[in-house]
Amino acid sequence: MPISNKILDFMDRGSWIRKMFEEGIALKKQFGEENVFDLSLGNPVMEPPQEFFDELKSIASKPIKGMHRYMPNAGLEITRQAIASELNKETGFSFSSNHIVMTCGAGGALNVVMKTLLNQGDEVVIFSPFFVEYQFYADNHGGTCKIVNPDENFLPDFESLFESINEKTKAVLINSPNNPTGVMYSKEILEKIAQIISEKEKQFDSEIFFISDEPYRKIVFDGLEYPHIFQFHPRTIVATSHSKDLALPGERIGYIAVNPNYTNQDILIDGLVFCNRTLGFVNAPALIQYLVVNLQSVTIDISEYQNKRDFMYQELSSIGYETVLPQGAFYMFPKSPIPNDVEFIEILKEQNVLAVPGRGFGCSGHFRISYCLEDSTLEGSISGLKAAFQNI
């Protein structure tokens, strides 16, 4: 066998989304593209905002000398400064360009953060249901994940959090608004998590980092305000990207932001920059760093996602599915009408509707649908979702 046993096992465990994607291609060949409704992929169909194309035109007509060369591993000063200014506006904190490291997406950011923080055997506490890659990312850097269970609204069970933190815990990682549930953590929830972290730090005389993976931070509905984590704990780190808010997932542009009030920030930031380099990213792609400088307060049209959410939530509820109303991102995580989510996904597939079983996110008994898709796909999926519900 050319590849390691561990990777073989990981590929098997982490392949639900890819599996559904491949099955979707096979179904489309059999029944025709327009008769298969693939709700399994979180790849937005929305195009980037007009402002992005304006920046692209402007830079193509006036290229900056040396703009395609190597740069400092933390990224371009002008981009990091623009991000720091935007964060200062949003949080009232005093970020400078020093607190920002440009990365290859949020995925790259999380790998850089974990590589920087983790000693062999360290633990990262995550909350179920979780983004499927977290466990693989922690393993990349010698760590493991400890999983905290959710309550019935997909909010953290604090008792479970309290028990999950021990002397090996190096970080607590949240994702809000959440993939796969769309749930956003309130100020009170963040405060409570931070309070538990502080208590445990005292108990174990340790430093625990509170990390927020927030690529959906700007995709928030119903006029809700996004609560930033920085105010709740000094050891806070944000990993994020423009994959979703500017619809640029293929461009691999994101960043890490370190709390300006963290006392040991210099060594932490030096570590992050070193790891960005030695993981082989070297620096985030240059052209796209220039392009996002003036786009820090621009987003795709959030109301389009909110309309899609409203449509899917109303339709699913009227069929009889139990779903927690998403407050952001572009996913829903309804309860499977039968306990076995994998079996239900098969029933849905017979109706040419593809979704991802909850166990792919560490939370059986549910399934994930993405609604960052064409209205025709969402509308077309409803009769299959209804037939599947009625046929069980």
Q: Between 169 and 240, name the residue whose CB sits nearer to ligand PLP.
A: 240
| Residue whose CB is nearest to ligand PLP in the complex, by number | 105
Binding status of residue 245 toward ligand PLP by CB under 6 A:
no
In the list 243, 276, 306, 327, the residue contacting ligand PLP (rule: CB under 6 A) is 243
Binding status of residue 283 toward ligand PLP by CB under 6 A:
no
SS3 (DSSP) at 241: strand
C-alpha span between 247 and 215 (Å, rounded) = 11
- On whether the CB atoms of residues 186 and 328 are closer than 8 A, the answer is no
Q: Between 179 and 381, name the residue whose CB sits nearer to ligand PLP.
A: 179
Count Cβ atoms below 10 Å from residue 227 Cβ, excluding itself: 18
C-alpha span between 145 and 170 (Å, rounded) = 10
Nearest Cα residue to 113 out of 283, 230, 256, 232: 256
Choices 138-146, 161-169, 241-249, 334-342 (CB under 6 A): range interacting with ligand PLP? 241-249
Find the shortest distance in angstroms from Cβ 267 to ligand PLP: 26
In the list 48, 107, 326, 362, the residue contacting ligand PLP (rule: CB under 6 A) is 107
- Range 109-138, binding ligand PLP (CB under 6 A): 131
Count Cβ atoms below 10 Å from residue 57 Cβ, excluding itself: 10
Amino acid letter at 53? F
- Range 50-79, binding ligand PLP (CB under 6 A): none
Find the shortest distance in angstroms from Cβ 247 to ligand PLP: 11
Find the shortest distance in angstroms from Cβ 358 to ligand PLP: 15
Binding status of residue 249 toward ligand PLP by CB under 6 A:
yes
Count Cβ atoms below 10 Å from residue 309 Cβ, excluding itself: 23
Find the shortest distance in angstroms from Cβ 29 to ligand PLP: 26
Region at 218 (left for phi over 0; alpha for psi -120 to 50; beta for the rest)? alpha
Contacts with ligand PLP, 18-57, as mask; x by CB under 6 A: ------------------------x---------------
Residue identified by tokens 């006392």 is 263
Find the shortest distance in angstroms from Cβ 106 to ligand PLP: 3
- Range 162-181, binding ligand PLP (CB under 6 A): 175, 179
Q: Is 271 exposed, middle or buried (0-12, 13-18, 19+ CB in 10 A)?
A: middle
* Residues facing 335 on adjacent strands: 366
Q: Is 122 exposed, middle or buried (0-12, 13-18, 19+ CB in 10 A)?
A: middle
102 membership: H or E segment, kind and range? strand 100-103
C-alpha span between 171 and 235 (Å, rounded) = 9
Q: Between 245 and 389, name the residue whose CB sits nearer to ligand PLP.
A: 245
In the list 241, 283, 299, 306, the residue contacting ligand PLP (rule: CB under 6 A) is 241
Choices 104-112, 117-125, 149-157, 379-387 (CB under 6 A): range interacting with ligand PLP? 104-112
53 Cα distance to chain centroid: 25
C-alpha span between 389 and 392 (Å, rounded) = 6
What is the total count of residues that contact ligand PLP (CB under 6 A)? Answer: 13
In the list 143, 182, 227, 254, the residue contacting ligand PLP (rule: CB under 6 A) is 254
SS3 (DSSP) at 89: helix
296 Cα distance to chain centroid: 18
Q: Between 131 and 210, name the residue whose CB sits nearer to ligand PLP.
A: 131
Q: Between 215 and 357, name the residue whose CB sits nearer to ligand PLP.
A: 215
Residues of this chain that bind ligand PLP (CB under 6 A): 42, 105-107, 131, 175, 179, 213, 215, 241, 243, 249, 254
